[in-house]
Structure formats: C-alpha cells, structure tokens
Amino acid sequence: MTTPDMFPAGKHQPEIVAFEPTRRAGLERLAKFASRTGAHYAGQRNYDFGSQNRSSVSALSPWIKHRLITEEDVLTQTLAHHSLSASMKFVQEVFWRSYFKGWMEQHPSVWHGYLSDLEIAFEKLEKNRFYKTDYDEAIEGRTGIDCFDHWCEELKTTGYLHNHARMWFASIWIFTLRLPWQLGADFFLSHLIDGDPAANTLSWRWVGGLHTKGKTYLARPSNIAQFTDGRFEPVNQLSSTSMPLVEDIDHPFVPLSSPQPLPQGSYMLLVTSEDCQPETFITGSQVGVLGLVSPGPPTQNTQVHAFAKGAATDATARSGQGTATVSTVQDWSDILIDAAHKAGTNQIVTPMAALGPVATQLALVKGTLKQAGIELHQHQRTYDTLTWPHATKGFFKLKKKIPNLLKDLGFTDV
C-alpha cells in the first residue's frame, strides 16, 4: 500500500500546472500528485515557489471545485498510495473544503450578507475618490508592496494562487491596505478558477477574525520570506497588528434539508458547472441532457468563465446523449422548458447546487418550471449528505470524524 514519496528533483525544478477543464486532465494531475500526498505534502505544503513550480501542493482545486474530479476520487488515489496516518495532513485539507461547504449551507445569511455588503461597498467606492484610488491600486497591483502586486498579477494571469499567498494577500488587503474584506473576496471570486462561495467567503472571514471570532491571521515579512523561498520580504511595509473585524449580526444556524431520493420515471439531466460528474450518482431513465452555465458578472475573468463552460461541456459530452449542448443564457426558464418538452419528459434532475450563483439560478426558475408542469429535482451526493451535518461549529468537530466518515464512504482499509 505505501509507495515511497516521489520528491520532485528540487524546488527549482519547473512544474507548471495547466488548468484544462476536463476530467481527464484532472485525473492526470491527480495521478501525478497522489504519491506526494504523504510526507512530501506535510513538509512542503506551506511553500509557495510561484507559478512556475507548483510541486509543493496538488493544484487540484479547479477540478475539485467543479467536481470534474470529486473529493472521493482524490481520497481514493491518496489512500491507494499512503496509509491514512501518513496522508492525514492532505486528507484533512480535502475535508476542510467539505467543512466550509457544510458550514455555509447551515449559515446561509453569511452568503446573503456578504452579497448585500458587497453592493454597499461598491456604492461607497463610487462616492469616495480616495477610497476608490486605494481599491484600484490594489486590484491593479500598484500598491508598491512587491509581493502583493506580484500575487495580484499571478492571480489574474493564472487563475490560481497558493493557499499561503491567498492568506498573505487577504491579510494585507484587510490589515495593511484597510480595504473591506468583501471587496477582496469579490476580487478573488472574479479571478480564481476554483472560486467557491463557501471556501472563499469563509476563508476571508477567517483571516479577518469573523469566522473564528476574534482570531485573525497576520501576514509577517519573515514568514513570507521563509515560505516564498526568499522571493519576497516586505520589511516595514505590512501592518504589525491585526484588530479582529466585528459585525453586528449573529448568523443563525439553519438545519440542512433532508436529501430526497431520485424521482421515478424518465428525466432530463441538467448539467451545471457545480458538479461535472453527474453520471456517478444520477442514473436511471435519462432521456436528454442539457448543460447550462451562467454568463457570470462583468468583472469575471474570462478564463474563469471559460473553465466553467469547458467543465460543463466535458460533463455533458460524457453524459452520453448525442445532442448535448451548453448554453450561457441569463434566464434559464425558457431553455429548460423547451429542452424538457423536446426530451418528452416533465422531470429535470440536476446535482444539488450548494449556496452560490447556480443555486440562485435554480431557485429563480423553479416556480416558472412548476407552472409549466415541470418538476426540478436537485439530487445530493452521498459525500455531502455524510459530511455536511458535522460542519456545525469549528473544523475540529468534523476532523475527529474523518476515520468514521471514510468508513461510511466505503474506504474499508482505514
């Protein structure tokens, strides 16, 4: 079961990851990294060697976010190479994602509050010239803080940043530049190919001291120097204090709704960019398939949209119906009604969309579809059904459950 860790030849060896939106490309990257999910990952994961060398981390997040490869795919390959104890650090990171998804789903006001605060922050920008200048300098990488300006450019060109760079960037944004965290989170969501409402919003809140209340993350020059391998050391440029952000709302806990079984009879499959591997858990009398991707906000980087569209196209093609198409219309109602009629069914099944733009689209069309006599069913993955209920408080609660969760997911050897 244990294979030796495949240490790359050295930290100066180039290892560029091309983010191609197909399941095949995701599986190839997973196959390359799986042997490194043990001691290599535990020892190297905090190092950010830059976009030319991604060897320290998996860089799988764009594929996982769109579920071109799933958490279970990743865990299967990890545990085929290492014991759970040897790969625990990596496995925990995979479950951090599940934690954030589940926690957000049970505290939806965090997402809705973020969206309305973001609107207010943009309005304020328009009214205050000085404030707008600071914001423009930050998003254009013109702050004069070399590392920050570099990450800004790296994010825009590659659509990805190492986790440590994300933490430093968010910390500098909030505590040094003193810009609202919501504007920074929006900047990330517009440019990250793995941009995820839960992981992104909650990570920004975590850095600012809103998620684990009162506990902030402060970026320090010496830490940046160590983990960028000496590429940057912003001495005397960063705030040396980080007063936790506060908010005057206590986000209420909302219980998860119970997952429903797949409906009987024929259905049309709707593929969205939320889950690009529906064939593994939605099976039955499928009589048609349609892929839909939202056009995205005007601020969205074109490569983010291209990845989402490419991912949905890949999934739709794999779903086996010859006439598969992916549309990017704003209003999904007419195209869904038309496609269901053409397929000769009054049922549409789609993978459940967690809180975010796709869930909003689905909520918007549900009523119109009902009026047209069409039922929309969102089907939940067993992985989410099992993990999300443990994401009610801090990560520790879910972390303790990892061995049991793996057993429940069918990993018998852990």
Ligand X SMILES: Cc1cc2nc3c(=O)[nH]c(=O)nc-3n(C[C@H](O)[C@H](O)[C@H](O)COP(=O)(O)OP(=O)(O)OC[C@H]3O[C@@H](n4cnc5c(N)ncnc54)[C@H](O)[C@@H]3O)c2cc1C
Residues found near ligand X in the complex (CB under 6 A): 45, 57-61, 64-65, 93-94, 96-97, 100, 162-163, 166-167, 170, 188, 192, 194-196, 199-200, 203-204, 207
Rounded alpha-carbon distances, angstroms, from residue 77 to 17, 27, 34, 83: 19, 10, 6, 11
- Least distance from C-beta 62 to ligand X, angstroms? 8
Q: Which is nearer to ligand X, 110 or 369 (CB)?
A: 110
Q: Which is nearer to ligand X, 68 or 292 (CB)?
A: 68
Cα angle for residues 60, 61, 62 (degrees, 5° grid): 100
Write down the number of H helices and E strands in the chain: 18, 5
Q: Which is nearer to ligand X, 150 or 324 (CB)?
A: 150
- Least distance from C-beta 263 to ligand X, angstroms? 31
- Least distance from C-beta 323 to ligand X, angstroms? 32
Coil, helix or strand at residue 168: helix
Query: Which token pair is 169?
Result: 């960037």
Q: Which is nearer to ligand X, 59 or 358 (CB)?
A: 59
Q: Tell me if 308 sits within 8 A of 409, measured CB to CB.
A: no
Rounded alpha-carbon distances, angstroms, from residue 293 to 276, 306, 353: 11, 10, 13
Q: End-to-end CA distance of the chain: give it in Å, rounded.
A: 11
Q: Which is nearer to ligand X, 199 or 271 (CB)?
A: 199
Query: For 142-167, b where at least 16 C-beta lie within 10 A, e where not — what string?
Result: ebebebbbbbbebbbebbbbbbbbbb
Coil, helix or strand at residue 180: coil
- Least distance from C-beta 243 to ligand X, angstroms? 18
- Least distance from C-beta 49 to ligand X, angstroms? 12
- Least distance from C-beta 354 to ligand X, angstroms? 12
Q: Which is nearer to ligand X, 37 or 286 (CB)?
A: 37
